[in-house]
Chains A and B, each alone.
Chain A
């Protein structure tokens, strides 16, 4: 019995890598949109948080 390609018996297994790619690109796009539209005043406050903790 040939066991090398046993997963070919799952219907449409090729869809997995495609799903992953689409998911990541969408996700990455959303994160990029997020950081581009961040309020820079807020940002300045946040990034100084570790420095003024007294």
Chain B
């Protein structure tokens, strides 16, 4: 058959590779600053830069690392590997460019809006609705380009890496859309349509699978392509890779509720999350072993080649964190790990080890080839490898120690039955570990800077190969199925079928888990004393969300003696029915706030927000002086109440018209209370609204108890 000539375009992989490096630097730098802020609160720069406090910076760090660094890493791999695996250029150069610039624009607008305090208040899904829409559009552009390429291919079979890319694309689309259902109340403000328990379940169904289908499966595609290339031998077992793919995508989607163990989420959903998390161990380790065994007989190369070193440690970290994850899903282990620094260590084994090292390995392999040269310095790359490895270790181990130390301190009672330690004692005990963790992060970042220099020198000594010539026979119209080939090989020749089947497989878990959460709505027994937030409390709650308080404070008390003794009665599902979005949080750097209402006088909160360390000695919380300057935007009250009622919050009809009157009445009352402590403040200031919200938290259920 006549061979057809065509070219592979290297310009887009190069652009994406550069973006990966750039955003890696930004994201990790933000992470390092955030880590230092926890040890040295002065770095929040509260007086100078109100936008820079931990609560706003941490989402910038997580979003930058996940969607900017890893995101661009995925696209680098896709734009380089798919044309070569399918023997055809990318379908559309123009769509590729729209994809690239669109994605970078989304990242920049994400960073800016997050620092400005525009947030949905849900972890890893903080971006407000206009950016969510932009993400959807660019994701579709990416999908069209990918499928366009697949449909114009010259290779009948889709290699397993492409399955992982297809599966990731369709699942991320589904997760993103379902989790992002909001009612906008302004250009950069919206409320989740889900509330309380329901919102928590949807959010962690999304959050867990963002880890699965953004940080894991596309990177498995990357592994299945670049590891064999670097090792110059095929994957250890292609059969195993098929099992890996199907069982991984099937199981992953169910495991979300393991983020909500011991919370007010129904017991059966928690158990389902645990069981599927344990089962996940098998495909994950199958994949890890498949990667490592690929190097059988080639281990001598690992000694020399920094690319393989990065891959080996990266894949090992995948194995470690996918062993750790299922263990953390066991309820007894989760009792220790949840809300603690253990979770932070766990994700960083994944992010620094698996995603980071796989990215570095890919870039060290790819960039010299794009520039038709050798790597400028193998020695420097090896130093990067050791610095990075050391960085991961020095990051993770202190975090594990901090987790156990704080656990044992938190649950310690005196012989008289009193809690032995104040929350602040526990915080003080973990600060040395925070400093060590920052050191680990700094080493890792140092390694990245070495890579940037190495890459720069490499590109200078070589010449960029814009396009590469290639030739292949066109795809014959009729395919002669080989003998013994059954229905199975059929699927891998049918990309659309593969797409539909992947969607079906990931939907099963989603449907079985989420449908009951809709039933929950009609089944959560209304606790009669739980009332909607007053307009002032609602405005205060939005300030709480804006400042990202949920990054350090949970609002969910687990049914343990040491939690109930410290924070009050454990949380009930019925208490959160008006919480759009829920604010349970996932980490307690500060104490739980679910029942902070009424615990302290208004004046306590006033001074505490002004300068926490004046009230709680050695507090590491940032100060919020600007809340005492800025006024609540009363113009938004109407649309906020209106949106809430649309979602079923029982405000009386037309209440929005008089809501601001009630708001001012309540604010004046708080101002009066503060006067008794000799504090003068204007009732319209934001601090008044925030105090109203904090004083409300967890109080409703106390009313009921009192009535009884």
Contacts and interface: CB of A to CB of B under 8 A. Distances in A.
B234 A51 contact: yes
Interface in B223-238: 224-225, 228-229, 232-235, 238
Contact of A38 (B225, B488, B572, B574): B488
Contact of A10 (B229, B523, B572): B523
A17 B505 CA distance: 16
Interface string B132-162: 0000000000000000000000010101110
Majority SS at the chain A contact face: helix
A43 B523 CA distance: 51
Contacts of B509: 20
A43 B573 CA distance: 52
Given A31-B242, A48-B234, A51-B228, A24 B250 contact: yes
A16 to B, nearest CB: 6
A3 B485 contact: no
Contacts, number: 126
A5 B234 contact: no
A53 B228 contact: no
A48 B488 CA distance: 19
Contacts of B347: none
Interface string B211-228: 000000000000011001
Given A3-B572, A28-B247, A46 B279 contact: no
B486 interface: yes
Contact of B524 (A6, A24, A53): A6
Nearest to A35: B239
Contacts of B239: 35-36, 38, 43
Interface in A27-54: 27-28, 31-39, 41-43, 45-51, 53-54
B434 to A, nearest CB: 37
B268 interface: yes
Interface stretch (B395-403, B512-520, B533-541, B591-599): B512-520
A23 B85 CA distance: 33
Interface string A6-21: 1101100110110110
B484 interface: yes
Interface of B is mostly: helix
Contacts of A10: 516, 519, 523
B271 A17 contact: yes
Interface in B465-501: 470, 482-486, 488-489, 492
Contacts of B155: 49
A20 B254 contact: yes
A17 B228 contact: no
Pick from A3, A5, A13 the residue with the most CB of B within 10 Å: A3
Contacts of A17: 268, 271-272, 275
B5 to A, nearest CB: 13
B304 interface: no
A43 B228 CA distance: 15
A13 to B, nearest CB: 6
Given A37-B486, A42-B485, A50-B161, A9 B516 contact: no
Contacts of B524: 3, 6
A48 to B, nearest CB: 6
Interface of A: 1, 3-7, 9-10, 13-14, 16-17, 19-20, 23-24, 27-28, 31-39, 41-43, 45-51, 53-54
Nearest 4 interchain pairs by C-beta: A53-B84, A34-B488, A47-B234, A47-B238
